[in-house]
Amino acid sequence: MAQRFNFQSFLLRFLFALLLVFVSYNPSGYSYYHWAQDAFFGQGTFKTPPFAMTTVLLLIGWTIYLRATFRSLGGLGLLLALAFFAIIIWWLVDLGLLGINDFSILSYIALFLIAAVLAVGMSWSHIRRRISGQIDTDDVDED
Alpha helices by DSSP H, 25-137: 32-41, 48-94, 103-132
Residue 141 belongs to a domain: no
Which has the higher per-residue pLDDT, 20 or 125?
20
Residue 3 belongs to a domain: no
Residue 110 belongs to a domain: yes
Which has the higher per-residue pLDDT, 34 or 18?
18
Whole-model pTM?
A: 0.78
Residue 87 belongs to a domain: yes
pLDDT of 142 higher than 50? no
Residue 48 belongs to a domain: yes
The total number of structural domains that make up the chain: 1
Spatial distance between the Cα atoms of 118 and 73, rounded to a whole number of angstroms = 10
Spatial distance between the Cα atoms of 94 and 88, rounded to a whole number of angstroms = 10
Q: In this predicted structure, what is the pLDDT of residue 1?
A: 42
Residue 121 belongs to a domain: yes
pLDDT (tens digit, 9 = 90+) per residue, 68-118?
A: 999 888 889 889 988 998 898 889 889 988 888 878 888 898 899 999 999
pLDDT of 15 higher than 90? yes
| Inter-CA distances, 31 with 17, 51, 71, 112, Å | 15, 12, 28, 15
pLDDT (tens digit, 9 = 90+) per residue, 30-58?
A: 999 988 888 777 666 666 788 889 999 99
Residue 51 belongs to a domain: yes
Q: Are 5 and 119 in contact (CB under 8 A)?
A: no
- Mean pLDDT calculated for residue range 7-25: 93
Q: Are 78 and 69 in contact (CB under 8 A)?
A: yes
Range of the domain at 18: 11-136
